[in-house]
Amino acid sequence: MAFNFESEAFENGGVIPKKYGYKHGNISPSLKINKIPENTISLALIMDDPDAMGAVGKIWVHWVVWNIDPKNSKFEENLVPVGSMEGKTDFGKTGYGGPAPPDKEHTYIFKLYALDKKLDVSKNSTKMEIELAMKNHILSESILEGRYAP
């Protein structure tokens, strides 16, 4: 098995339960990371909604987390690993912003990156700033997808 991650809350490609939705509790799901590459210094996670492009004209960013210690291979429900940083979402807030499709069922993509360094970016950084800081430092990446309907 290669570098990947999973959630106890939903299967890859499955339905994300309502309590994780922005308007229904806004609780971040638990995540378990497997087979972290040997030379990983930190991990980064980005959750977004590419289906929002049709509804709001852009990929909507729901969660940005970085400088996750690879020894912390689990996100407990509604918590981020100690020492990690959270960035600003397209809701204009820092931290998790759960699924909130305005029109129909959307697919949400959680992307996890194994990095060869810690990211030197400020708290409340955006997805774009994190992606720029990660450039040329990604050892491996993995994707977990979930579906959510309004």
Predicted confidence (pLDDT) per residue in 50-81, tens digit: 999 888 889 999 999 999 999 988 999 999 99
> Residue 113: what pLDDT?
98
The whole-number average pLDDT for the span 138-148 is 97
83-88 mean pLDDT: 96
Single out the residue of 49, 138, 56, 29 nearest to residue 89, CA to CA. 49
Whole-number pLDDT of residue 1: 59
Give the residues across from 141 on adjacent strands. 113
Identify the CATH number of the domain defined by range 4-148: 3.90.280.10
Pairing type for strands 14-15 and 138-148 reads: parallel
Q: Catalogue the E-assigned strands of the chain.
A: 4-6, 14-15, 31-34, 42-49, 60-68, 74-75, 85-86, 106-115, 138-148
CA 150 to CA 145: how far, in whole Å?
17
User: What is the domain partition of the chain in residue ranges?
Assistant: 4-148
State the burial class of residue 45 (Cβ atoms within 10 Å of its Cβ: 0-12, 13-18, 19+).
buried
Summarised one tens digit per residue, pLDDT across range 96-107 is: 999 999 899 999
pTM, entire model:
0.95
